[in-house]
Each structure stands twice: as C-alpha cells, then as structure tokens.
Chains A and B, each alone.
Chain A
Amino acid sequence: MATIKMTVNGRERSGEAEGRTLLVDFLRQELNLTGTHVGCDTSQCGACVVHVNGEAVKACTMFAAEAEGAEVVTVEGMANPDGSLSVIQQAFQDHHGLQCGFCTPGMIMSAAALLKDNPKPTEAEVRHYLEGNICRCTGYHNIVKAIMAASGQDVSAVAAE
C-alpha cells in the first residue's frame, strides 16, 4: 500500500492504493466518487472515461499510481460552480441523451474532451469521436444531438428524436 496524491475536480485528494489499484477503483472506493462507472473488463465501453491532465482516458485502464500528482476531472467536477448543470449536461437532459444513464458519465467526459479540441464538430466527427463509448439504450442519435446542441449548433436537422 502507498499513499497516492492527486488533484481531483480542483481539490487535493489522497488515499491508499496498491500497485494494482486501478484509477477508477481509487476514485470510486477510496474517494467515494462513484459517478465514474465500470461497464466492462476489456477496456472497450468507455463508461469510465475521466480527464487526466486534460486528456480523456479510460480510468479502468490506468493505475492509480500513474495518476500521482496529476489533475483529474470526473463527472462530479462537470457542474457549474453554483451547482447548476453545465452546458453539456443540460443538453443531454434537454435532448434525451440518456435513458438508464449508465454510459452517461463517460459520454459527458468524452463530449467535453471533443468540444475542447473541436468546438463545432460535424455530426460525423461526433459519431467518430464516440467510437469508444458504448450505449446500450439510446441508439446514440440523441447523444449526438445533445453534443451538437451543446456546441451551439442548430440541431433541428440532426437525426430523429
């Protein structure tokens, strides 16, 4: 066991981790940040996506020890400072971008990473970027629509409700 320190959602946090402790387990079990989900064992579903030093990564495919000293942002850090939903989160609600919600934390974090690099993506770019985020419920159309809307684009012509 070692003590690991990192900045999570702007706050200094520390906790205990073994060599094999995954970042996602550290966040969920040690820091009680259970917004980040685990949907698979094979690094394929993207439910666990968080940002480490500004980049989207799968928290299930990185060890906590490798995030020592890093800036980590999870879905819990996405709301506005006053607690209201961020533009991306609000767009998911407005456009029915979630059903069961299991994939949503990863979708929000991937969407935020995409819009940081590409503030006005095309529909094709959004779909391509989400290749590593799997949703079993929505059929993706409304997720894509929500992300397009969050980027400030007119979505009246995008896919179907």
Chain B
Amino acid sequence: MYAFDIERPTTIADAVAALGAEDAQALGGGQTLIPTLKQRLAMPSKLVSLTAIPELKGVCVADDGALCIGGGTTHATVAAQAAAHYPALAALAGGIGDPAVRNRGTIGGSLANNDPAACYPAAALASGATIVTNARQMAADDYFQGLFTTALDEGEIITEVRFPVPDRAAYMKFQQPASRFALTGVFVAKYADGVRVAVTGASEGGVFRWTEAEAALSADFSADAVAGLSVSSNGMMGDVHGTPDYRAHLVKVMTKRAVAAA
C-alpha cells in the first residue's frame, strides 16, 4: 500500500468536509477498498472512515412503509434486522461473502463500488430503491451507470438507501465458489403495479433490468411465464468461470428459480 492518512469523523458533516481534501476517499467496511489498496490500484492521500458515524447506521421503516437502511450499515446487520420486513433483502445480505466480510462490509460501500458481480445492486435496481446521499436523492434506475460506475460525484456519501417493500421477492445467486460473488444473480420483486427483474454478474455493462421478463411476469407471475423468452449472449461477460452463452443461460434459470422461491 502507498502511504495515506486516515481520519475517523463522527458526523456526516465532518466526513463530507474531510472528503473535500484533494485525493481523499471514503472508507466503508474496507472489504473491497483494502484489497484494492494492497494491490496498489488506488492511491488516496487520505481515507475518511465512515465506521464511527452513528447516523449512517441502522435499519428502520419509514411512514410510507419503505425500509430505510443507513449507508454505513453492515451486511450482517441488514441480514438480522431486515428479516421481518423484507426477507428477500435480508437473505441477500446474509449470503454476501462470509461472516467476517458481512461484519465489516456495508451497503453504501457495495452500491458505491457497483462491482458487476455484486449482490446489492440487483436488490436496489429490482426494488426501485432510492439512493440518498449527503447532497440529493437518486432513483436506482438513474444511479447505476455501468461497470464500477455510478452517478455519485467525487466526495459524495451514500447516507441511506430506501427500499419500497414488495409483495413477493427473492434473490437467486449462482455462486462463484472461490470468490463467493455472483457468477450470475437475479433479484425478482413483485409490486402491486408490476414486477421488476434485475440481473447482476452477467453483463459487461453491470447490473441491468430484464424488461421482457418483467412484462411476462407482470402478466403471469410464474416460472413458466419466462420459459419462452431467450436472453442474448451479446454483451455478456466471458471469463474462465463462464462463457457469455453460459451466463445468458443462467439469467433465465436464475429468474425462474427466483420466481419459484418468491
């Protein structure tokens, strides 16, 4: 690792001020950023740790019924505290990595990083979540902008994520056994006004909505409804773990499984 300073502010305002410094970067749970620093793929002058800010942590239910999760809330806390209200989301959080990763890694860090194989982006996009920052609110549809790319500005902190709670939902991840990330994962959420389907781990463009499946499932919420659809392997990721064709195939298989489990 290159040398840097580390600060531990206790309020969002102080963290935002500290991030104003040149080449300063936020540190969430560090479960992605620290391995990146070890490989010298990042060279911040200063890390601003978000782990000592109480107002960034916790799970609560808003007046409109949405589940609100603080940007600095760990995966383990979401797995435990969202279980009663949004079980599919809690199960997703409980399936990320391993227990030690879940005790440190945060929802804000996961969404800010937007790894093309990460789990939370699928939940946020399929739920039509709202990403709340220190400066503004963004719909998930506008927030994700491709591989490791989001609408976040420099120094902007995710303070909260609001999930409208669906009637039925499930996340099915075909796990890459070594990394435990999604080789392909599908989150299906059924709301009164329609079904949303978000796919992670498959596309070179990062998380995306499978709109044909959404239309079919909104008309008939059954695994059979997507049986006749096909997914193009154009633009799917190909690597040692799976070809583009394989991933395209998995999108449909995981969607069916998610619908059956929802």
* Residues 30-66 of chain B, each 1 if its beta carbon lies under 8 Å from chain A, else 0: 1100110111000000110101000000000000000
The answer to whether B49 touches A66, judged by C-beta atoms less than 8 angstroms apart, is: yes
CB contacts under 8 Å to A, within B1-55, are 1-6, 8, 27, 30-31, 34-35, 37-39, 46-47, 49, 51
Instruction: Kindly count the residue-residue contacts between A and B in the assembled complex, taking CB atoms under 8 Å apart.
Output: 80
Q: Contact partner of B99 among A20, A56, A62, CB < 8 A?
A: A56
> Would you call A154 an interface residue if the criterion is a C-beta within 8 Å of the partner chain's C-beta atoms?
no
A65 touches B4 (CB 8 A): no
> Taking the complex as formed, is A36 at the interface, i.e. its CB lies under 8 A from any CB of chain B?
no
Binds B, one of A42-50, A80-88, A95-103, A143-151: A42-50
Q: A20 touching B35 by the CB < 8 A rule?
A: no
Given contacts A20-B3, A20-B37, contact A66 B8 (CB under 8 A): yes
CB of B51 within 8 A of CB of A55, answer no
Is A155 in the interface zone, CB < 8 Å from B?
no
Binary contact readout A105-148 vs B (1 if CB under 8 angstroms, 0 otherwise): 00000100110000000000000010111000000000000000
Interface assignment of B103: CB less than 8 Å from any CB of chain A:
yes
B238 at the interface (CB under 8 A from A): no
| A57 touching B98, Cβ below 8 Å | no
Within 8 A of B (CB), among A1-51: 18-20, 22, 41-44, 46, 49
Determine if A61 is an interface residue (Cβ-Cβ < 8 Å).
Answer: yes
B91 at the interface (CB under 8 A from A): no
CA gap between A46 and B220 in the complex, in Å? 45
Bitwise, B171-192 to A at CB < 8 A (1) or not (0) is 0000000111000000000000
* Docked-complex contact A57 and B8, CB < 8 angstroms: no
- Which of A20, A22, A43 touches B101 (beta carbons < 8 Å)? A43
Q: Using Cβ atoms and an 8 Å threshold, which residues of chain B touch A44?
A: 178-179
CB neighbours of A65 from chain B (8 A) = 6, 8, 49
Taking chain A's interface residues, is the majority helix, strand, or loop, or is none over half, making it mixed? mixed
B100 contacts A by Cβ under 8 Å: yes
Q: How many residues of A contact B (CB 8 A)?
A: 28
With contact pairs A56-B103, A132-B101 given, residues A19 and B3 touching in the complex (Cβ less than 8 Å)? yes
The answer to whether B104 has its CB under 8 Å from any CB of chain A is yes
Give the residues in chain A near B8, CB-CB below 8 Å: 65-66, 68
Contacts A43-B35, A131-B180; is A61 near B6 (CB within 8 Å)? no
Contact A46 B35 (CB under 8 A): no
Query: Are B30 and A110 within 8 A (Cβ)?
Result: no
Docked-complex contact B49 and A55, CB < 8 angstroms: no
A110: chain B residues within 8 A (beta carbon): 99-100
Report the separation of the CA atoms of residues A29 and B82 in the bound assembly, to the nearest whole angstrom. 40
Given contacts A18-B3, A61-B30, contact A131 B35 (CB under 8 A): no
Q: CB-nearest residue of chain A relative to B175? A: A131
Q: Give bound CA distance, A22 to B34, whole Å.
A: 9
Query: B97 within 8 Å of A by Cβ?
Result: yes
Q: How far is the CA of A19 from the CA of B34 in the complex (A)?
A: 12
Whether the pair B51, A61 counts as a contact (CB closer than 8 A) is no
Task: From known contacts A19-B4, A132-B101, infer whether A62 and B37 are also in contact, taking CB-CB under 8 Å.
Answer: no
Interface string of B75-97 (1 = CB under 8 A from A): 01000000000000000000001
Contact indicator per residue, chain A 53-87, by CB within 8 Å of chain B (1) or not (0): 00111101111011010000000000000000000
Neighbour of A63 across the interface among B30, B39, B99, CB < 8 A: B30
Chain A residues with Cβ below 8 Å from B34 are: 22, 43, 60-63
- CB pair B35–A41 under 8 Å, yes or no, is yes
In the bound complex, CA of A49 to CA of B99 (Å) = 10
CA distance A158 to B144 in the complex (A): 46
Q: A43-B35, A66-B8 are in contact. Are A57 and B47 (CB under 8 A)?
A: no
Cβ–Cβ contact A63 & B103, under 8 A: no
Residue numbers of B with Cβ under 8 A of A are 1-6, 8, 27, 30-31, 34-35, 37-39, 46-47, 49, 51, 76, 97-101, 103-104, 178-180
